[in-house]
A and B are shown apart, each in its own frame.
Chain A
Amino acid sequence: MTSATPLRLPHADDDGPQVSFTVQSWRRIVRTVLGDPNLTTLPCRRDLLLVAYDFAALCDVSGRGPYSAKERTGRARDDRPDASLCELTEISKVQTGRMLKLLIALGCLRQVRQPAMGRQAVYQAVIPSGGPESVGRCLAMAAELGFRPRARRDMSKQNDARRQRKAHEDALQVLTDIPQMAVDEPVDNSKLGVMQTTPLVGHADDPPKGHADDPQKGRADDPPLPIGGLGNKGSISTYSGTGSWGASPAAPEEDQQGGGEDRRQPPVTTSVMTVDGRPSGNRWGTAVSQAAIRQTGRDRMRAELAKANRCQGLDGMGCRHDRPVSPSNDKGLCIRCYALIAGLDDRPNG
Chain B
Amino acid sequence: MTAQHDHGPYDCVPIADLDRITEVAGDLKIPLSVAACWMAMCKEMRRQEARGELAIPYDAAAEVGIAAAYRRGEQWAADFFRSMYAPALGDLWDDSLLDVLATAAEVNGDGVTAAKAALGLLDVPPPAMDSSALQGAPGQQSRHEA
Contacts and interface: CB of A to CB of B under 8 A. Distances in A.
A15 interface: no
A309 B87 CA distance: 17
B139 A62 contact: no
Interface string A128-153: 11100000000000000000000011
A337 B59 contact: yes
A87 B17 CA distance: 55
A330 B146 CA distance: 32
A323 B123 CA distance: 20
Contacts of B64: 7
Contacts of B43: 343, 345-346, 349
Interface in A22-59: 22, 24-29, 31-37, 40, 45-46, 49-50, 53, 56
Contacts, number: 231
B121 to A, nearest CB: 10
Contacts of B62: 335-336, 339, 342-343
Nearest to B23: A342
A3 B74 contact: yes
Given A3-B44, A6-B54, A7-B61, A328 B107 contact: no
Interface string B91-122: 00000000110011111111111100110101
Contacts of A27: 139
A40 to B, nearest CB: 6
Nearest to A299: B123
B69 interface: yes
B141 A130 contact: no
B96 to A, nearest CB: 12
A346 B14 CA distance: 11
B83 to A, nearest CB: 8
A24 B139 contact: yes
Interface of A: 1-9, 12, 19, 21-22, 24-29, 31-37, 40, 45-46, 49-50, 53, 56, 62-63, 82, 84-85, 87, 124-130, 152-154, 321, 323-324, 326-331, 335-340, 342-350
A25 B37 contact: no
B75 to A, nearest CB: 11
Contact of A328 (B8, B56, B84): B84
Nearest to A344: B46
Given A3-B77, A349-B40, A22 B139 contact: no
Contacts of A336: 59-60, 62-63, 108
Given A35-B134, A49-B134, A328-B88, A24 B28 contact: no
12 contacts: A4-B45, A7-B61, A35-B128, A37-B124, A40-B128, A62-B106, A63-B107, A152-B128, A326-B84, A335-B28, A339-B58, A350-B5
A154 B58 contact: no
B59 A124 contact: no
Nearest to B133: A46
A6 B53 contact: yes
Contact of A21 (B45, B103, B114): B103
B108 A343 contact: no
A37 B125 contact: yes
Contacts of B128: 35, 37, 40, 152, 154
A350 B84 contact: no
A49 B72 contact: no
B47 A35 contact: no
B24 to A, nearest CB: 5
B79 to A, nearest CB: 13
Contacts of A3: 37, 40-41, 44, 65-66, 68-69, 74, 76-77
A55 to B, nearest CB: 12
A339 B141 CA distance: 33
A62 B103 CA distance: 9
Given A4-B44, A323-B110, A350-B5, 19 more contacts: A2-B8, A2-B9, A27-B139, A28-B146, A29-B114, A45-B127, A46-B134, A49-B134, A87-B138, A126-B107, A127-B110, A130-B122, A326-B111, A327-B111, A335-B84, A337-B59, A342-B42, A343-B39, A343-B43
Interface string B21-58: 00010111100000001111111111110000111101
